[in-house]
Chains A and B, each alone.
Chain A
Amino acid sequence: MKLFSNKRLILSLISLIIMIALMGVTLGNRGTVTWPEKMIQDTVAWVQGLIYKPAGYIAGFFEDIGNLGRLYEENKTLKRTLSHYARDTARLNVLIAENERLKEALRFTERQKLSDQLVYQIARVVAVNQDSSNNVFKIDLGERDGIRPDLPVITTDGLIGRVIRVSEFSSNVLMLTDINDQSLKSRGISVTSLQHPDSFGVIESYDHETGYLIMSKIKQEDPLQIGDTIVTSGLGEAYPAGLIVGTVVSRQEGSFGITHVAEIKPAADLSMNGLREVFVVQNAWDVANR
C-alpha cells in the first residue's frame, strides 16, 4: 500500500514547509494583531462566555453546598482577622498621610505620584485552554478597556500571569507556569522579599514536577530567608512593585555555585481550575493618560 503518490508527496512536503515556516515566524510576540484574528477572537470569546459563565455559576452552587459545613470555622477566623485589620488600617492611614506630605515636600511630579498607585480592573474569564504546555485563558476585557500586552494579571491570592495578546473586546492571558528560562521569548520577573526589602532575585522558570517557581540570581550574602513572602520589586518596569508572588520554601546554591537559587511556593492556585474573576493591574498614570 502506498501512503503517498508522487503528486501528494510534493504537496505534503510543501505544506510541511509552510507550516514550519508559519510556526517559526509567529513564535513569541508577533507585534500587531491583524483584523481577521481580532474578529475571530472577539466573536468566539463572546460565544464561549455564554457557556463558561453559567457553567461556572452552576459549579459554584455545588461548591457552596460542599462548603456549608466549614462556614462556622471560617467565620470565626475572619472575625479575628477583621480586628487585626482595623488596627492596621489606622496605622496605614497615618503612614499614607506622611508619605503624601513627604512626596509633596520633595516635589514629586504628578507622573511619579500616580505611577505608585495601582488600578485593578476586574475581568471575567470566558474560556480556558486545557493544554499543559500552552496555559492560556481568555478574559472579557480588550483594547477598548485599555488593556495592553504584558500587563500583569492577578487573583485575590497573588500573581498568576500576564496579558499576551489583545483584541478589541477580549484578550489572552498566559499563565505564570509557562515561564521558562530555556525559551528565548520568555521573560523573567524581578522580585524581592516583603520582610527583607534589600533582597533581589529573578523568577525565571517553573518546576512542573514540584509545582514551585524558581527564583534565581540571588547573591550569596542576600538576606532572603525561608518563609519570606515574595513580591514583585518593580525594577523590571514590566510589573509594578508589590504584587504578591508566593513564599520561599527552600534556598540553596545554584548550579555554578556563584549565586543562590530559591524555590517559591506560588500564593495563587496556578492550575486554572475554577477560574472566574481575575484582576488586570495597571498603574494610575497609564490609566489617566489612556
Chain B
Amino acid sequence: MIWYKHLLWLTLWVLFLLESSLMPWLLPGSIGDMEMTIAAHFAFVLILYIGIYLNRRLAIGMALAFGLLHDVLFYGHVLGAYTFSMCLTTYVISMLLRDTHVSWYTGLGSITLSIVAFDYLVFGLYTLFQITSVSPWWYLMHAALPTLLLNMIFASAIYYPVIQIFARIEKFVAPQEAEDYKAESP
C-alpha cells in the first residue's frame, strides 16, 4: 500500500508547476529601485520535509527527479546544476537528522540552512563554469536572501499540515509497509 507516495509525487508536481507559471505573476521583480530575483523552491521545501520527517530514500529520489526536470526544462547554460545541488543538500540534511527526534525549531532551522546551501551550491557551480560573474555578496542581497524569505514563509505555512499528515502516514501506513516488506523478503 503505497498510495501516499503517489499523492506526494502529485503534490510535488503541482508545486513544481506553480513555481514557474504562477509565482512570476505574484512576486515583484524589484523592491523600491533595487532589482531582485525571488525564486520559489516550493517543491524543494516539501522534499526537504519528506527527507527530514518521513523517508530519506524517497526524498533523494524525488530530489533527483525534480532537479533533473528543472534542469531539462530551463536549459540555458548547463545541465545538472539543480540535480546535483538538490540531491546533495537533501542527502546531507536527512543524514544529519536521521534517528533523532526533530523538534520544530530544528526542522525549520535545517530547512533554512538547506535553502541557503542549495542557492549557494547552484551559484557556486555557475561561478565554477564561468557562467555568471556577479559577486557572492551581490548574490546574497539580491537573490539568496529574498529567496530564503519567501521559501521560509512557505515552509512555516505548511509546517503544521505536513507534520500532521506525515504522523498519520507513519502511524497507519508505514507499519503495514514494514510488514509487507517482511513478508516479501525471506
Whether chains A and B associate is: yes
**B112-143 contact mask (Cβ, 8 Å, vs A): 1 or 0:** 00000000001101100111111000110011
> Do B74 and A136 have beta carbons less than 8 Å apart?
yes
Residue from the list A37, A45, A59, A211 in contact with B25, Cβ < 8 A: A59
> Do B74 and A23 have beta carbons less than 8 Å apart?
no
Of the listed stretches A66-74, A127-135, A139-147, A188-196, chain B binds: A127-135
> Do A128 and B20 have beta carbons less than 8 Å apart?
yes
For A271, list chain B residues within 8 Å (CB).
29-30, 35
Q: How many A-B residue pairs have CB under 8 A?
A: 150
**A237-249 contact mask (Cβ, 8 Å, vs B): 1 or 0:** 0000000000000
> Do A182 and B125 have beta carbons less than 8 Å apart?
no
- Residues of chain A at interface, number, CB under 8 A: 56
Asked if A273 lies at the interface with its beta carbon under 8 angstroms from chain B, I say yes
Of the listed stretches A46-54, A109-117, A278-286, chain B binds: A46-54
In the complex, chain B residues 80-123 whose Cβ is within 8 Å of any chain A Cβ: 80-81, 83-84, 87, 91-92, 95-96, 122-123
> Do A130 and B39 have beta carbons less than 8 Å apart?
yes
Of the listed stretches A86-94, A172-180, A224-232, chain B binds: A172-180
Contacts A208-B134, A208-B138; A273 near B83 (Cβ below 8 A): no
Asked if B46 lies at the interface with its beta carbon under 8 angstroms from chain A, I say no
Bound-state Cα–Cα, A54 to B99, Å: 45
- Residues of chain B at interface, number, CB under 8 A: 50
Bound-state Cα–Cα, A222 to B23, Å: 45
Asked if B69 lies at the interface with its beta carbon under 8 angstroms from chain A, I say yes
> Which residue in chain B gives the minimum CB-CB distance to A44?
B73
For B130, list chain A residues within 8 Å (CB).
180, 182-184
In the complex, chain B residues 3-56 whose Cβ is within 8 Å of any chain A Cβ: 17-25, 27-30, 35, 37-40
For B28, list chain A residues within 8 Å (CB).
273
> Do B138 and A23 have beta carbons less than 8 Å apart?
no
Asked if B162 lies at the interface with its beta carbon under 8 angstroms from chain A, I say no
Top 3 closest pairs, chain A to chain B, by CB: A273-B29, A271-B29, A132-B37
Excluding A3-B95, A27-B78, A40-B72, 7 further A-B contacts by CB distance (< 8 Å) are A45-B73, A127-B73, A128-B24, A130-B40, A132-B143, A136-B75, A209-B134
Sampled A-B contacts (22; CB under 8 Å)? A3-B96, A15-B87, A19-B84, A40-B73, A41-B72, A45-B73, A47-B17, A51-B18, A52-B21, A58-B25, A129-B74, A129-B76, A130-B19, A130-B24, A130-B40, A131-B37, A132-B143, A133-B123, A134-B131, A183-B131, A208-B138, A271-B30
